[in-house]
Amino acid sequence: AETTRIAVTPGDGVGPEVVEEALRCLEVLRTKHNLALEWTRFPWPSHTWHQKHGESMPDDALDQLRHYDAILLGALGDPGPLDDPDRYLLSDSVSLAPLLEMRKGFDQWVCERPARLLPGARQYLADERAKDIDMLVIRENSEGEYVSQGGRLRKGTEDEVATQMEVFTRRATDRIIRYGFEQARARAAERVKEGRTRSFRSLDGNRDTQAFESQVCLVTKRNALRYWGDMYTEAFEEIRKEYADVAIHHELVDAACMKFVQNPWAFDVVVASNLQGDILTDLAAVLSGGMGVAPSCNLNPSDTGMPSMFEPTHGSAPDIAGQGLADPTAMLFTTARMLQWLGRKDPVMAAAGKELFSTVAADLKENAGKQRRTREIGEAICQQIAG
């Protein structure tokens, strides 16, 4: 098989520490399964690079990354000391967070953030049913509130006006909703294979009679943000006709926040806009054990040959950086997902991804509540895989 090449961008703060553990595990998997896999580390984007060069990554960064099969990213966003006049991300030389540049540059239009409360993960909700939390939030990742259009008029005066435009296209709306339905089906099939079943009601005519194996919940704020809310809803109604086997649901984003806390176990797949998805996924991460375990991926499912990017949901956590305290679990789950993604046409790679996932899950269960260092967790998992 052709060699799969991964660009590794450890980033800032705890990023390099958790990435190191991911690479150790990858090395063990590579040897064990004889995977045709290699990786290259990049010192950017990062705060350190920004301090040296006045920009968070070189001008040709995207061109350098374009030909890799995937990007594995640690964490970004350490803004540096408060008194640094060049405070990264706030300085004028950085127009968009580098993360956003990459999502945009490689048209990674899906952000998948699963939230499943695995045994051993910290349970923030007291309710017993919390252990049934198993949802996948799909965040539209290419447009919406993140188009970065607008500006500041009469800047710095009392009469200043800031505008920030939101742009929603029917094309991007259709593809993300369709992706949501496809994932709902795939998850139901996966559950059946594992002997797990779930039961959902649908918002349409069959509400009280029929039970469904899967569900897609569309989140909008269409009572206030009418134009895109109505377009999203119409697209949803149209596309759901092709998925009679999937229950549908609709929530306004504020109510969705409430229900994520009140009965998150009732959700399956959730489709949300870029910003609303961003906010919902921090909440969903906490429901499934916190930032220490929450994986994330930015996917370009269109066959364009551009790399998808895999990063944990957590940030750079500068307060604990450099001390070997960060939990690498989220990074390892993210790495497992990357292998599964890369393994779409390569069963050995896909199996390696599954193996990493189940090893990390078993480790989480076995060591529930223990305080362990970054290295200790990574080492335990490497040993398990090595057998």
Q: Which residues bind ligand IPM (CB under 6 A)?
A: 77, 97, 99-100, 278
Residue closer to ligand IPM by CB (options 61, 352) is 61
Residue closer to ligand IPM by CB (options 109, 212) is 109
Residue 124 CA neighbour count, 13 Å, CB half? 17
Task: Compute the least distance from the CB of residue 201 to ligand IPM, in Å.
Answer: 31
Three-class SS string for 57-95? CCCCHHHHHCCCCEEEEEECCCCCCCCCCCCCCCCCCCC
Residue closer to ligand IPM by CB (options 233, 315) is 315
Task: Compute the least distance from the CB of residue 101 to ligand IPM, in Å.
Answer: 10
Here the tokens at position 187 are 């998850």
Task: Compute the least distance from the CB of residue 80 to Mn ion, in Å.
Answer: 20
Task: Compute the least distance from the CB of residue 311 to ligand IPM, in Å.
Answer: 7
What phi and psi, each to the nearest 5 degrees, are found at residue 103?
A: -60, -40
> Strand, helix or coil at 6?
strand
Task: Compute the least distance from the CB of residue 372 to Mn ion, in Å.
Answer: 26
- Contacted entry of ligand IPM, Mn ion, none for residue 77, CB cut-off 5 to 8 Å set by kind: ligand IPM
Q: Which stretch binds Mn ion (CB under 5 A): 113-121, 164-172, 272-280, 349-357?
A: 272-280
Q: Which stretch binds Mn ion (CB under 5 A): 85-93, 150-158, 209-217, 278-286?
A: 278-286
Residue closer to ligand IPM by CB (options 36, 283) is 283
Here the tokens at position 88 are 């990264």
Round to whole Å and give the CA distance between 125 and 134.
Answer: 14
Here the tokens at position 162 are 């800031």
Selected from 17, 69, 134, 278, the binder of Mn ion by CB under 5 A is 278
Task: Compute the least distance from the CB of residue 90 to ligand IPM, in Å.
Answer: 13
Task: Compute the least distance from the CB of residue 62 to ligand IPM, in Å.
Answer: 17
Task: Compute the least distance from the CB of residue 327 to Mn ion, in Å.
Answer: 18
Chain residue whose CB lies nearest Mn ion: 278
CB burial of residue 386 (10 Å; 0-12, 13-18, 19+)? exposed
- Contacted entry of Mn ion, ligand IPM, none for residue 97, CB cut-off 5 to 8 Å set by kind: ligand IPM
DSSP state of 121: S
Residue closer to ligand IPM by CB (options 13, 343) is 13
- List strands edge to edge, sheet with 308-310: 37-41, 4-11, 70-75, 308-310, 297-299, 110-116, 134-140, 269-272, 214-220, 246-252
Residue closer to Mn ion by CB (options 143, 278) is 278
Round to whole Å and give the CA distance between 42 and 296.
Answer: 20
Residue closer to Mn ion by CB (options 231, 283) is 283
What phi and psi, each to the nearest 5 degrees, are found at residue 217?
A: -105, 125
Round to whole Å and give the CA distance between 189 and 209.
Answer: 22
Residue closer to ligand IPM by CB (options 97, 380) is 97
- Contacted entry of ligand IPM, Mn ion, none for residue 100, CB cut-off 5 to 8 Å set by kind: ligand IPM
Task: Compute the least distance from the CB of residue 275 to Mn ion, in Å.
Answer: 9
- Contacted entry of ligand IPM, Mn ion, none for residue 348, CB cut-off 5 to 8 Å set by kind: none
Residue closer to ligand IPM by CB (options 21, 311) is 311
Greatest alpha-carbon pair distance for the chain in Å reads 67
Please give the radius of gyration of the chain, using alpha carbons only, rounded to the nearest integer: 21
Task: Compute the least distance from the CB of residue 93 to Mn ion, in Å.
Answer: 23
Query: N- to C-terminal Cα distance for the chain?
Result: 25
Residue 236 CA neighbour count, 13 Å, CB half? 24
Chain residue whose CB lies nearest ligand IPM: 97
Round to whole Å and give the CA distance between 63 and 252.
Answer: 39
Interaction between residue 143 and Mn ion (CB under 5 A): no
Number of residues located near Mn ion, criterion CB under 5 A: 1
Instruction: Give, in degrees to the nearest 5, the angle at Cα 190 between 184 and 195.
Output: 125
Round to whole Å and give the CA distance between 342 and 208.
Answer: 41
Residue closer to Mn ion by CB (options 113, 187) is 113
Q: Which residues of this protein are in contact with Mn ion, per CB under 5 A?
A: 278
